[in-house]
Amino acid sequence: VAVFCRFAGCNLWSGLEEDRANAVCRFCDTEFVGIDGPGGGKFNSPDNLTNHILSFWSGADKPFVVFTGGEPLLQMDDKLVEALKKGHVEIAIETNGTLIPPDGIDWICVSPKQEAELLV
């Protein structure tokens, strides 16, 4: 069982229709996904986001979260990884591979884009 946490924003496309012709990605699901989570999906600290993620577990399974986007590595940092590890959360990300991830991520799934330079 996994919780998917979607971060908005991407380093390969602005999300604006007028920029699509020059975007590295020719398809993105950004316009199809809402922001109907608590507080519009915004959390004011890594600890608050971690606590919200942990609220989905009853204690039977090890907490497992998959961060996706947009590009999750625009928001993932050492403080978030540290907060998740304190909560004993297993961390996975789905990334375009163009940014260096912080240490401590357990699983990295790369979805390369044709004209983007891979760094992962």
Can you give the pLDDT at residue 62? Answer: 87
Whether 118 is in a domain gets the answer no
How many structural domains comprise the chain?
1
Strand 64-68 versus strand 3-6 pairing type = parallel
Q: What is the pTM of this model?
A: 0.83
Whether 116 is in a domain gets the answer no
Whether 119 is in a domain gets the answer no
Q: What is the pLDDT of residues 28-78, one digit of tens each?
A: 655 555 566 667 778 899 999 999 999 988 776 789 999 998 889 999 999
Higher local confidence (pLDDT), 105 or 70: 105
Question: What mean pLDDT is predicted for residues 79-96?
Answer: 96
Q: What domain range includes position 35?
A: 3-110
DSSP string, the chain: --EEEEPP--SS--S-GGGGGG-S-S--SGGG----SGGGG--SSHHHHHHHHHTT--SSS--EEEEESS-GGGT--HHHHHHHHHTT-EEEEEE-S-SPPPTT-SEEEE---TTSPP--
Can you give the pLDDT at residue 16? Answer: 67
Whether 115 is in a domain gets the answer no
CATH, residue 82: 3.20.20.70
Question: What mean pLDDT is predicted for residues 76-94?
Answer: 96
